[in-house]
C-alpha cells in the first residue's frame, strides 16, 4: 500500500498565527489563556478563553469577502493558505479534480447564528443577512477553500464533535488510500467563543471557572483540574500520495500511517468511564498502520482537563498498551491552546508531526498534583528532548466519538 504523506501544515490559534510561532510557544510552555474580549462576559460564570489574538482576516482574503465569512471560515482559509504555501502544491487544470478538501467543524458559525436570531427578534426577518446560511454551515470553510483555490475534487466536512478534525483528516486519508484523489487539503476550524458557546458549555459543567487567577488552568490530568478552557482557531495539513509528492519534488514532513475510529455508544456527552472505546480505536489505528506498540514514542492526548475525560483517557491508554503505558510519554497541548472543539484534533496532528521531526515532546503545563486515576508520564510542565519515530494523536468527542491518527517519521 502506498504511503500517505504530509507536505504542508498551517494554523492560527491562541498560541500563534503560524505553525512555527505556535510550536515555539507550545514547547516553551506558553499559554494562550486570557480574559474574554470577544464579548462582554459580565454575568457569566466563565470569563476566560483561549482567544485568537492579532488575527486580521484581510491578510488572507479580500476585506469585502472577509465580512461575508464567519470567523471560523476566516480561520480555516488562513490555515489552509499557510499549509498550501508550504507544500508547494500547484493547483492547475490538470490536477484540480484530483485534489480534495475536507476541512471540518463541529459546530460551524455559532456566532453568526446567534447574532441573526437577535436581529430577527429585534428587527424582524427582513433584516437577516442573505449571507447567513453560508456563514453558519459547518462545511463553509471547506467550500470556501475549494472556491478560493479552484479545487474540484471531493469537498465536505465532518461533524463528530471534538473528534471532527481528526475524523476529517482520517476521511481524506482513506480517499487517498483508495485512489479517489491524489492530494487533500484537510483539517478543521472552530470559533465558539461567543455568548451562546461559552454559556452552553458552562451549563453542562465542562468549563473551568478560574477567572481571577487563570495562571494554572486548564490543568489536564492534574488532580485539581476543574474543566476545560474554550479555545478557537484552525489547523490544516496537505496530504498526498507519496508518488505524487515525490514526483513534484515536495519536501515530505512525515507519513500519516494510520487512522481508526470507534464509538463508545454510551452517553451523549460523558465518555464511557472504562475507556474501552478509546483503547479499541488506538489498537485499530496502530494495527492499520502496521506499527508495533513498542514503536510508539509519544501520545498527543485528548486531555481536556475535565475529571471524566482525563480519567477515561488514561484507562484507554492503559487498555491499549497494558504495562507498556507506563513507559510512554503523554501530554496534552490543550493546557496551552485551550480546547478548540472540532479543530483541536487537527492542531494536535501538527504538533505530533513536529515532535517526530524535531525530537521535542511538548509538555502538559499547569501540572502540579498527581491523580491516582491519571498515573502516566504526562511530561509535566517542561518539554522533553527525545528522538521518536511514531506518535499517535487521540481525539475523543461528545457522543462517544473516538478518533486516533498515527504519525510516523518519513524515511
* Grid cell for residue 205: 459543567
Residue 319: helix, strand or coil by DSSP? helix
pLDDT of residue 372: 96
4-247 and 259-408, same CATH topology: yes
- Dihedral pair phi/psi, residue 38, rounded to 5°: -75, -15
pLDDT at residue 307 in the model? 97
Quickly count helices (H) and strands (E) in the chain: 13, 14
User: Measuring CA to CA, which residue among 393, 351, 96, 388 is closest to residue 237?
Assistant: 351
Cell 498534583 found at: 369
Q: What is the CATH number of domain 259-408?
A: 3.40.47.10
Q: pLDDT by residue for the chain (411 residues), tens digit each?
A: 899 999 999 999 999 999 999 999 999 999 999 999 999 999 999 999 999 999 999 999 999 999 999 999 999 999 999 999 999 999 999 999 999 999 999 999 999 999 999 999 999 999 999 999 999 999 999 999 999 999 999 999 999 999 999 999 999 999 999 999 999 999 999 999 999 999 999 999 999 999 999 999 999 999 999 999 999 999 999 999 999 999 999 999 999 999 999 999 999 999 999 999 999 999 999 999 999 999 999 999 999 999 999 999 999 999 999 999 999 999 999 999 999 999 999 999 999 999 999 999 999 999 999 999 999 999 999 999 999 999 999 999 999 999 999 999 999
For residue 363, what is its C-alpha cell?
509538555
Alpha helices in 338-400 (DSSP H): 344-358
Query: Cell numbers 491518527 correspond to what residue?
Result: 405
Angle between helices 140-149 and 71-87 (to 10 degrees): 40
Most distant CA pair in the chain, distance: 63
Grid cell 474540484 is found at 152
Instruction: Please give the pLDDT value at position 398.
Output: 95
Domain ranges (residues) in the chain: 4-247, 259-408
- Classify 150 in phi/psi space as left (phi over 0), alpha (psi -120 to 50) or beta: left
Q: What are phi and psi of 229, to 5 degrees?
A: -115, 125
Determine how β-strand 233-241 pairs with β-strand 183-190: antiparallel
**Torsional class of 249: left (φ above 0), alpha (ψ -120 to 50), beta (otherwise):** left
Q: Which residues are catalytic?
A: 162, 302, 339
Q: Which three cell numbers stand for residue 285?
A: 489505528
The total of other beta-carbon atoms located within 10 Å of residue 363's CB is 24
Alpha-carbon Rg for the chain, nearest whole angstrom, is: 20
Output the pLDDT for position 71.
98
From CA 255, how far away is CA 260, in angstroms rounded?
A: 16
CATH of 4-247, picked from 3.30.70.150, 3.40.47.10, 3.40.50.1980, 1.10.10.10, is 3.40.47.10
Q: Which of 281, 250, 346, 295 is nearest to 4 (CA)?
A: 250
Here the cell at position 176 is: 487517498
3-state helix, strand, coil split of the chain in percent (to 5) is 40, 20, 40
CA dist., res. 376 & res. 374, Å (int): 6
In angstroms, rounded to a whole number, what is the distance separating the alpha carbons of residues 212 and 193?
18
- What's the confidence (pLDDT) of residue 335? 98
Instruction: Return the sign of the alpha-carbon dihedral for residues 119, 124, 125, 128.
Output: negative
Residue-level pLDDT at 130:
95
| Residue 411 CA: distances (Å) to CA of 125, 173, 320, 358 | 58, 19, 26, 14
Closest residue by Cα to residue 158 from 174, 182, 179, 177: 174
First-to-last alpha carbon distance for the chain, in angstroms, is 15
Grouping H, G, I as helix, E, B as strand and the rest as coil, residue 404 is strand
Residue whose C-alpha is closest to residue 394's, from 269, 337, 309, 268: 309
Amino acid at each position: 500500500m502506498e504511503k500517505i504523506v504530509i507536505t504542508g501544515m498551517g494554523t492560527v490559534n491562541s498560541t500563534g498565527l503560524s505553525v512555527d510561532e505556535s510550536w515555539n510557544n507550545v514547547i516553551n510552555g506558553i499559554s494562550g489563556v486570557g480574559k474574554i474580549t470577544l464579548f462582554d462576559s459580565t454575568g457569566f460564570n466563565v470569563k476566560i478563553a483561549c482567544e485568537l489574538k492579532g488575527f486580521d482576516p484581510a491578510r488572507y482574503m479580500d476585506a469585502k469577502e472577509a465580512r461575508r465569512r464567519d470567523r471560523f471560515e476566516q480561520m480555516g482559509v488562513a490555515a489552509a493558505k499557510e499549509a498550501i504555501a508550504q507544500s508547494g502544491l500547484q493547483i492547475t487544470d490538470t490536477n484540480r479534480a484530483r485534489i480534495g478538501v475536507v476541512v471540518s467543524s463541529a459546530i460551524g458559525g455559532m456566532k453568526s447564528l446567534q447574532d441573526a436570531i437577535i436581529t430577527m427578534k429585534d428587527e424582524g426577518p427582513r433584516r437577516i443577512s442573505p449571507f447567513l446560511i453560508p456563514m453558519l454551515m459547518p462545511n463553509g470553510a471547506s467550500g470556501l477553500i475549494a472556491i478560493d483555490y479552484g479545487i474540484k475534487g471531493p469537498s465536505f466536512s465532518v461533524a463528530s464533535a471534538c473528534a471532527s478534525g481528526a475524523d476529517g483528516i482520517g476521511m481524506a486519508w482513506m480517499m487517498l488510500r483508495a485512489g479517489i484523489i491524489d492530494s487533500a487539503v484537510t483539517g478543521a476550524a472552530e470559533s465558539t467563543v461567543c455568548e451562546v458557546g461559552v454559556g452552553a458549555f458552562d451549563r453542562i459543567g465542562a468549563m473551568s471557572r478560574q477567572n481571577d487567577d487563570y495562571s494554572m488552568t486548564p490543568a489536564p490530568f492534574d488532580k485539581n483540574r476543574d474543566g476545560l478552557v474554550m479555545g478557537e482557531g484552525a489547523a490544516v495539513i496537505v496530504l498526498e500520495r507519496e508518488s505524487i509528492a515525490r514526483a513534484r519534488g515536495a519536501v515530505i514532513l512525515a507519513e500519516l500511517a494510520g487512522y481508526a475510529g470507534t464509538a463508545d455508544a454510551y452517553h451523549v456527552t460523558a465518555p464511557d468511564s472504562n475507556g474501552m472505546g478509546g483503547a479499541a480505536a488506538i489498537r485499530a489505528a496502530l494495527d492499520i498502520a502496521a506499527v508495533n506498540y513498542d514503536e510508539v514514542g509519544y501520545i498527543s492526548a485528548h486531555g481536556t482537563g475535565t475529571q471524566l475525560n482525563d480519567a477515561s483517557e488514561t484507562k484507554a491508554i492503559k487498555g491499549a498498551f497494558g504495562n507498556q503505558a507506563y513507559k510512554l510519554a503523554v501530554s496534552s497541548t490543550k493546557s496551552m491552546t485551550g480546547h478548540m472543539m472540532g479543530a483541536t484534533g487537527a492542531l494536535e496532528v501538527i504538533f505530533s508531526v513536529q515532535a517526530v521531526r524535531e525530537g521535542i515532546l511538548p509538555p502538559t503545563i499547569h501540572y502540579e498534583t498527581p491523580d491516582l486515576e491519571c498515573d502516566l508520564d504526562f511530561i509535566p510542565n517542561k518539554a522533553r528532548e527525545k528522538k521518536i519515530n511514531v506518535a499517535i494523536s487521540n481525539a475523543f468527542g461528545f457522543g462517544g466519538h473516538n478518533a486516533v491518527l498515527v504519525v510516523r517519521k518519513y524515511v
